[in-house]
Amino acid sequence: MSEPTTNAPPIVLIHGLWMTARSWDRWAQYYRARGYEVVVPTYPGFEIEVEALREKPEIIAAASVPETLDHLSDVVENLDRPPIIMGHSFGGTFTQLLVNRGLGAAAVTIDSAPPEGVRVNPPSQIKSLFPILANPANRHRAVGFTREQFHYAFANTCSREESDAAYDRLHIPAPRQLGVDLRPDSQLEAGPPGDLGRLRPGRPGAAAVHHGRQGPPDAALGDPLEREEVPQLRGSD
């Protein structure tokens, strides 16, 4: 890893479900090439390679939000200074929970996942998740998508060939329990007394909602060089 050459805060990139830290590879490269220190943590148990997690998804089936949030908090707190935290999908929800704990200098969420109880999910999102949520037996399992389901949910702006290549490189099963942990009755503490308290629907800042989403979810993170909305972070050199 190259040494940082900017005085801007470090950047922490948090992945979402059905992905690992590998999904941020091109984003990490993009920011490191511009002199930023970039940290890409993963969830506890997700440290092994994508291929190994596909073979033995039971390794991560019991992953929980409190355990994962504590792990990510440790990563952020052990940096030399507060970072800019970026999270995609479920990683966006973790980003907000970290901010609620008073961590980070700034935060960016990309299509942050809403917890159960936020009733604005468009039909396309329901269709995307139905194969995972429809079977009650999946509650205590780590479950993945088929290539066809992945193409619809994550990569529908790509060709099927490109989507299948992304699936083979990035996709893993995801613990359904993580979604259960974000139910409004789960009593999950979002931070210290005085902030948002427990994560509940209708509390400002407690969940990012997919407002105005009329079509299927777009192609996951994509390439930072091709996205106009990639933040151009600047510090005092």
Domain boundaries, the chain: 11-222
Instruction: Tell me the C-alpha to C-alpha distance, in Å, between residue 33 and each of 28, 162, 174.
Output: 8, 25, 31
Residue 118, pLDDT score: 58
Beta bridge partners of 84: 11, 106
Query: CA 90, CA 225: separation in Å to the nearest integer?
Result: 23
Look at phi and psi of residue 205 and say left if phi exceeds 0, alpha if psi is from -120 to 50, else beta: left
Beta strand 174-175 with 142-143 is: antiparallel
Residue 191 has pLDDT above 50, yes or no: no
| Mean pLDDT, residues 219-232 | 43
Mean per-residue pLDDT over the chain, rounded:
74
Residue 226 has pLDDT above 90, yes or no: no
CA angle 232, 36, 9 (to 5 degrees): 80
Which CATH number, 3.40.50, 3.30.1490, 2.120.10, 3.30.70, labels domain 11-222?
3.40.50
73 φ, ψ to 5°? -60, -45
Confidence of residue 131 (pLDDT cuts 50, 70, 90): low
List the structure tokens of 119: 């009733």
Confidence of residue 116 (pLDDT cuts 50, 70, 90): low
| Mean pLDDT, residues 179-200 | 41
Q: How much of the chain, in percent, has pLDDT values that exceed 90?
A: 41
- pLDDT for 60-115, tens place per residue? 888 888 999 999 999 999 999 999 999 998 899 999 999 999 999 999 999 887 66
More confident residue, 143 or 161: 161
Q: What's the predicted TM-score (pTM) here?
A: 0.73
Query: CA 219, CA 110: separation in Å to the nearest integer?
Result: 12
